[in-house]
A and B are shown apart, each in its own frame.
Chain A
Amino acid sequence: MHIDHLVKMTNEIATFFASESTPADAPREVASHLTKFWDPRMRREIIAYGQQGGAGLSDLARSAVNMLVMPAPR
């Protein structure tokens, strides 16, 4: 997966929930969206990227990524 692509998608999801949700709930909403719709390999990559600093992720996107649980290796 191109990490730039994953970062772009995560930021776009975060942009929607930034206005739709409250600041307190938005990270959980973004994380929930990623969990519901992203294949585990995509989540693993964005989580690993977030753990390395997550350059390019918006603040909300980074908060959401940090909330994600690393899917078990398969």
Chain B
Amino acid sequence: MYSIGYHDAGTPASVSTKSVRVEIDGQSLQVPEGTSIMRAASEAGVSVPKLCATDTLKSFGSCRLCLVEIEGRKGYPASCTTQVADGMKIRTQSPKLSELRHGVMELYISDHPLDCVTCPANGHCELQNMAEVCGVTETRYGLAGEKHAGLEKDQTNPYFVFDPNMCIACSRCVRACDETQGTLALTMAGRGFESQISASQDQDFIDSECVSCGACVEACPTAALSETTLAVQGQPTRSVATTCAYCGVGCSFKAEIKDGPKGAEVVRMAPNRDGHANHGHACVKGRFAFGYATHPDRVTQPMIRKRISDPWREVSWDEAIGYAAQEFKRIQAEHGKYSVGGITSSRCTNEETFLVQKLVRAAFANNNVDTCARVCHSPTGYGLKHTLGESAGTQEFDSVMQADVIMVIGANPTEGHPVFASQMKRRLRQGAKLIILDPRAIGLVRAPHIEADYHLQLRPGTNVALINALAHVVVTEGLARDEYIAERCEAASYAKWKQFIADPGNSPEQTEAATGVPAALVRAAARLYAGANNGAIYYGLGVTEHSQGSTMVMGIANLAMATGNLGRAGVGVSPLRGQNNVQGACDMGSFPHEFSGYRHVSDTTVRGLFESAWQVRLESEPGLRIPNMFDAALDGSFRGMYIQGEDLAQSDPNTNHVVAALTALECLVVQDLFLNETAKYAHVFLPGSSFLEKNGTFTNAERRISRVRKAIEPLAGLEDWEVTMKLSKALGYEMNYRHPSEIMDEIARLTPTFTGVSYEKLDRLGSIQWPCNDAAPDGTPTMHVSQFVRGKGKFYVTEYVPTDERTSSRYPLILTTGRVLSQYNVGAQTRRTANNRWHDEDRLEIHPHDAESRGIREGDWTGISSRAGDTVMRATLTERVQPGVVYTTFHFPESGANVVTTDNSDWATNCPEYKVTAVQVALVSQPESWRARSIAARQRPRVTETQ
């Protein structure tokens, strides 16, 4: 069932620029060449009856309900599979057509349950609607014949039910799984009357290859596949367009709501078919895992306590805000104004992050503000700013549909960015080539109808050596686009880089010893990428979370510039951002050294602009980054912290170090939905509001600003931006905004790349990709088109420097980390949903050879030790990881994945090196004693850190 109120045009729009004129039921109109008759009719306001057609899927022509008459042609062609032709005259209504449709509908109805009143799709069932349209109130075949009745429902999936009794065999679910999602988990098994939808090899949905994206549920015209919430909560009655709060794809949704005695409640999240980032698709998190917003664990009452060993005391908003402000003022009075700071959140809106950094700069009067992007994509900002001139990806997602060669580096799109992965897979099925650089065999290496042309399975920590080797081949084999470079890039920097990269030390043969990637594969992959008309690079945290993260980003930009793959659709360098608003949090001035729009705090002109607008003197020196804050907390020069919407104690590396720092703080204020791990060390807890409870905007990985709209009232009574305003006022710096639109207006006044952004324009255009200003009033899908933002592109010498984190006889394996599809980041949201059915613990992936030598079998508890700490997890034996490498996720606090990661970091930005930790893994017979040892170590601050 697609979203309520949506008018389905039946078949996808034609992209042809040529048009033809046709006549439909006497009405003349012009439509693009290649348009189906069904869609043309829809554009003329004529709804042709249909069941197997929907505008997100290719026409199929199986239901025989959409028959039409065409003047001068025999028969009754299906309007979904017949394209218009110039001068065509079409009739969609006639006595004969009515008779034919009536007969078809009678057959459908004769084999369908007639319990519409109790059906979850009642009122939104296409079969029900078509029966009414065709005037079928009874069937001449009777109801006594053989039917698909009494078949067992599949209720194994927590989010939807498959009721084969309701199925009309239209194949929309199968086609949605194939065309929209690209998993190909469903099929029509059997023949004739025995035809039946089958998940994988006739398995239950939960055990099949189904990834629960819900595309099949949305495509189903009946209640054969329907959300469980519809049966429990009933039909929604209205919807609010908003933006998903999970990954950086930023899917647009219609939050479908039912108003009841307890207020509004969300029944479904239906992906918005007009959504520019997702085009009507969604994943298991965005579509289904929204129940956390009303989970009983939500804390909706402010709380305070004097010491972290004290019990929490529930207080009013005013008391909590007053206490927090009083403590921050006391600390600043006793230890100086630089002794406090704040953290903005990549999960909160642009307007909220802007306010938190404004509070720190204006009310705290220092620049000790940072954001969780510090620990994920800060090297992207540094690397792309220096090489190209802007701290953001270069493309829109749709650009991938014009890519001929796609290079995926250190990203796992099918798990981390599933909706974009589906689009990428669509392009790959059309024939684009695929190169993957990853230590692990991610899902894209081999999937239905997809196989990577080259998987360069490098050793963790050797990214820069590998990107240099690829560039070496480009330069030394004459594959560089000299004309493009001469026109677009700095000649001196290119000459210097060319000399560096051509050095035999960077050749695939020389770097093979470090990377472990056979030289022949590197050469072949380089030739493929460099030879493409359009080569596009997509990368993730496997690039940034290294000691050379920034160097690697520069290396990627070097490679793209050298091959002319920047500045048009189909090419580019695109970071896949982990959280929903990482890009936005960075744009909004969350880093300690820069204001919104990436302008340094030492710039007197820029600072003057903000001082004038905010009527306060601002600091010209950079403040502390998150890891610096931890160090400063341990040396006593940093004693108070305001954290909005982040869980540093779980997400940041070297947990023991983080906990020691948090414990040392005199005032920690946590604003969150839940009492997270960090809140264990907090003195003030301020209830947060979920994305369903507030207004604002998110900016996704393609720089697309999209509206977040309030669907339900805030459970704790205040939206997050209102809480920040109250705290700022209590600190003595008053902010007066009546609505987040006024915050955005201020952002637009102060930020050159946002000059043209307003809520009015966002409502009108649907979304906007910045830069949006006088030069680009509707936004900028592709950056660096005529020239780079910095003018000429700059090549940087990217010498490979091995990380300090080395294996040894004591720590012989390398641990690297990542994500799974069903969970998100620290799991605070997804762990409080039925997504746990797919992944209810973090597992350690280990190669069978490494497991065998340690006596470890599938499911065994293992102890993982590093130079930073110890933890325990159960083992999964898999050849996805190479020998010598182990892998895990960090979604569950009890697994303590970050207890073992170290505080090594990127040289330029201090982004932690999550991806390389030397460990030993051993079979553990008593996991609880290991876990207890680990927890005890975390709770016991190290003497050296407290001195």
Contact = CB atoms under 8 A, between A and B. Distances in A.
B797 A71 contact: no
B819 interface: no
Closest CB pairs A-B (n = 4)? A12-B907, A19-B799, A20-B797, A39-B624
Interface in A31-53: 33, 36-42
Nearest to A6: B631
Contact of A41 (B500, B592, B637, B908): B637
A19 B500 contact: yes
Given A13-B908, A15-B907, A40 B593 contact: no
Contact of B621 (A15, A16, A71): A71
12 contacts: A2-B635, A5-B631, A9-B905, A12-B801, A13-B908, A15-B801, A19-B797, A20-B799, A37-B622, A39-B623, A41-B338, A74-B338
B592 A39 contact: yes
A15 B798 CA distance: 11
Contacts of A15: 799, 801, 907
A38 B632 CA distance: 13
A25 to B, nearest CB: 12
B538 interface: no
Interface string B546-559: 01000100000000
Contacts of A1: 628, 631-632, 635, 637
Candidate in A2, A13, A19, A71 with the most chain B CB atoms within 10 angstroms: A19
Contact of A2 (B551, B602, B624, B631): B631
A16 B797 CA distance: 9
A17 to B, nearest CB: 10
Interface size classification for chain A: 20 to 34
B621 A40 contact: yes
B336 interface: yes
A12 to B, nearest CB: 4
B593 A37 contact: yes
B328 interface: no
A70 to B, nearest CB: 12
A16 to B, nearest CB: 6
Contacts of B551: 16
Contacts of A5: 631
B832 interface: no
Interface string B898-931: 0000000101111000000000000000000000
Interface in B499-526: 500
B797 A36 contact: no
A8 B602 CA distance: 26
A19 B637 CA distance: 35
A36 B593 contact: yes
B418 to A, nearest CB: 35
Contacts of B337: 74
Given A1-B635, A13-B907, A42-B628, A20 B621 contact: no
Contacts of B637: 1, 41
Nearest to A41: B637
A20 B497 CA distance: 9
Interface in B608-646: 621-625, 628, 631-632, 634-635, 637
B796 interface: yes
A29 B126 CA distance: 67
Candidate in A5, A39, A74 with the most chain B CB atoms within 10 angstroms: A39
B849 interface: no
Contacts of B547: 12
A62 to B, nearest CB: 17
Interface in B323-337: 336-337
B729 interface: no
B500 A36 contact: no
A29 B635 CA distance: 29
Given A1-B632, A15-B907, A38 B622 contact: yes
B427 interface: no
A74 B628 contact: no
B238 interface: no
Contacts of B622: 36-39
B568 interface: no
B600 interface: yes
Contact of B908 (A33, A39, A40): A33
A35 B75 CA distance: 79
A27 B621 CA distance: 20
A3 B263 CA distance: 57
A72 to B, nearest CB: 9
Contacts of A71: 621
A39 B621 contact: yes
Contact of A9 (B602, B797, B799, B907): B907
A5 B602 CA distance: 25
A37 B637 CA distance: 18
Contacts of A37: 593, 622, 625, 908-909
Candidate in A5, A16, A40 with the most chain B CB atoms within 10 angstroms: A16
Contacts of B336: 74
A59 to B, nearest CB: 16
B632 to A, nearest CB: 7
Interface in B577-600: 592-593, 600
A9 B910 contact: yes
Candidate in B621, B623, B804 with the most chain A CB atoms within 10 angstroms: B621
Contacts of A2: 631, 634-635
Given A16-B551, A39-B623, 5 more contacts: A1-B631, A1-B635, A9-B907, A33-B908, A37-B593
A41 B637 CA distance: 9
A13 B906 CA distance: 9
B624 to A, nearest CB: 5
A36 B624 contact: no
Given A39-B621, A41-B637, A16 B631 contact: no
Nearest to A12: B907
Contacts of B621: 39-40, 71
A68 B209 CA distance: 59
Contact of A16 (B368, B593, B602, B908): B908
A39 B628 contact: yes
Contacts of B632: 1, 39, 41
Interface in B786-841: 796-799, 801, 804
A8 B801 CA distance: 14
B907 A16 contact: yes
A42 B412 CA distance: 37
A2 B797 CA distance: 30
Interface in B516-573: 547, 551
A19 B909 CA distance: 18
A1 B635 CA distance: 6
Nearest to A45: B635
Contacts of B634: 2
B903 to A, nearest CB: 8
Contacts of A19: 500, 797, 799
Contacts of B801: 12, 15-16
Contact of B796 (A12, A20, A36, A74): A20
A24 to B, nearest CB: 14
Contacts of A74: 336-338
Interface string B644-661: 000000000000000000
Nearest to A2: B631
Candidate in A8, A20, A33, A74 with the most chain B CB atoms within 10 angstroms: A20
B561 to A, nearest CB: 16
Contacts of B628: 1, 39, 42
Contacts of B799: 15-16, 19-20
